[in-house]
């Protein structure tokens, strides 16, 4: 029976090792790709805005408070019209994926740590 119990534990450890590696790799891949996408999309968006000279609209904030107050919404609306919306949506999506992965890893950090510790001690014991 003892032998059988060890066999079951061995099967479980192997399954967990496979599962954990896949999970961590997937998260790492998503983390890296979303970060890269975020950088690339951000760069493209900035370039487009620079080309359109949309940032000139920001000079408006150097005016008097009364002028800012009067034309604030109009200015924001013009900026909104000029911005490429689809690109902005993509940027937010990649950012949300990136943040979700970070949050998930932080939330499950203790579990991952314990699992890796357990797996290492078991594999070292076996050898």
Partner 1 sequence: MTDKEVILRIKNGEINYFGILIKKYSNFVYQYLFLRIKNKEDCEDLLQEIFLNFYKNLIHFDENKPVKPYLFKIVTNQLRMFYRKRKKFFPLNKDVVDEESESLIFNFFNDEGEIFKKLNKKEQKVFELLKNGYKIKEIAKKLKIKENTIKSLIRRGRKKLKI
User: Would you tell me which residues interact with partner 1 (CB under 8 A)?
Assistant: 1, 4-5, 7-9, 11-13, 15-16, 110-115, 118-119, 121-122
Closer residue to partner 1, CB minimum distance, 71 or 112: 112
Phi-psi region of 40 (alpha: psi -120 to 50; beta: other; left: phi over 0): alpha
Task: Output the smallest distance, CB 121 to partner 1, in A.
Answer: 8
Rg (CA), the chain: 26
Task: Output the smallest distance, CB 16 to partner 1, in A.
Answer: 6
Task: Output the smallest distance, CB 98 to partner 1, in A.
Answer: 24
Contact 34, 98 (CB under 8 A): yes
Which helix (DSSP H) or strand (DSSP E) does residue 112 occupy?
helix 109-126
CA 34 from centre of chain: 6
Task: Output the smallest distance, CB 104 to partner 1, in A.
Answer: 14
Look up residue 64 and give its DSSP letter. -
Closer residue to partner 1, CB minimum distance, 69 or 113: 113
Closer residue to partner 1, CB minimum distance, 3 or 59: 3
Query: Which ranges of 53-64 would DSSP assign to H, the alpha helix?
Result: none
Closer residue to partner 1, CB minimum distance, 21 or 114: 114
């Amino acid at each position: 029976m003892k032998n059988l119990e060890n066999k079951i534990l061995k099967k479980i450890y192997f399954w967990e090792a496979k599962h954990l590696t896949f999970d961590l790799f997937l998260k790492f891949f998503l983390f890296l790709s979303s970060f890269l996408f975020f950088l690339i999309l951000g760069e493209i968006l900035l370039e487009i805005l620079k080309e359109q000279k949309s940032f000139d609209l920001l000079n408006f904030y150097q005016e008097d408070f009364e002028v800012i107050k009067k034309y604030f919404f109009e200015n924001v609306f013009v900026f909104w019209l000029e911005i490429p919306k689809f690109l902005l949506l993509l940027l937010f999506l990649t950012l949300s994926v990136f943040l979700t992965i970070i949050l998930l890893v932080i939330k499950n950090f203790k579990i991952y740590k314990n699992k890796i510790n357990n797996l290492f001690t078991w594999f070292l014991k076996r050898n």
